Chains A and B, each alone.
Chain A
Amino acid sequence: MSEANATPKRVRTPKPPRAYINPYLGGALLGVVLFLSFYITGNGLGASAAINRVQVAILNVFAAGHVDRVGYMSEMGGGHRNALDHPSVFMLLGTFLGGALSGLLNRRLKFETRRGPRISVPARWAIAFLGGAIMAYGARLARGCTSGQALSGGAVLSVGSFAFMFSIFIAAYALAWSLRRLWT
Chain B
Amino acid sequence: MAPFNITPHAGVVAYFLVFFLLGLGFGVVLELSGFGDSRKLAAQFYLRDLTVIKVMFTGIVTAAILIHLASAFQLLDLSRVWVNPTYLVPGIVGGLIMGVGFIVGGFCPGTSLVAAATLKLDGIMFVLGGLVGVFFFGETVHLFEGWWQSTYLGRFTLPDWLGLPTGVTILLLVAMALGMFYLAEIAEARFGNRQVVQGRRAFPGRRALLVVAGSLAALCFTLILKGQPSVEDRWSWISKGGDRQLAGREIFVDPAEVVDLRRDLSLFVRILEVRSEADYNLFHLAGSERIDIDSTSHPVLVRSLLDDTDNTIVFLAGNGEQDAVEAWKRLRAQGVLNLYVIEGGINHWLEVYPVGPCVAQRIEGTDASAEVRGGETLRYRFLAAVGEQSPSAHPEVARREYVPDCAMASLAGPAGSVASAFTGGNAPRRDYAKKVKIQKKTVAKGGCG
A contact residues vs B (CB 8 Å cutoff): 1-2, 19-24, 26-52, 54-56, 58-59, 70-73, 87-88, 90-103, 106, 108-116, 121, 124-176, 179-180, 182-184
Contacts and interface: CB of A to CB of B under 8 A. Distances in A.
Contacts of A98: 23-31, 114, 117
Interface in B394-449: 443-449
A171 B153 contact: no
B99 A168 contact: yes
Contact of B37 (A28, A29, A114): A114
Contacts of B83: 153, 156-158
A132 B112 contact: yes
A29 B29 contact: yes
A141 B100 contact: no
B31 A173 contact: no
A24 B26 contact: no
Contact of B117 (A1, A100, A134, A141): A100
A168 B195 CA distance: 26
28 contacts: A20-B34, A20-B51, A24-B54, A24-B181, A31-B65, A34-B60, A37-B22, A42-B81, A43-B447, A47-B109, A48-B130, A51-B109, A87-B447, A91-B26, A111-B121, A133-B132, A136-B109, A138-B96, A142-B98, A144-B448, A146-B108, A147-B108, A155-B59, A155-B63, A160-B85, A160-B88, A180-B46, A182-B103
The binding surface of chain A is classed by DSSP as helix
A51 B129 contact: no
Nearest to A145: B109
A116 B42 contact: yes
Contact of B55 (A27, A36, A142, A163): A27
Contacts of A140: 94, 133-134, 137-138, 141
B127 A132 contact: yes
Nearest to B129: A132
B295 interface: no
Interface stretch (B158-166, B261-269, B319-327, B379-387): B158-166
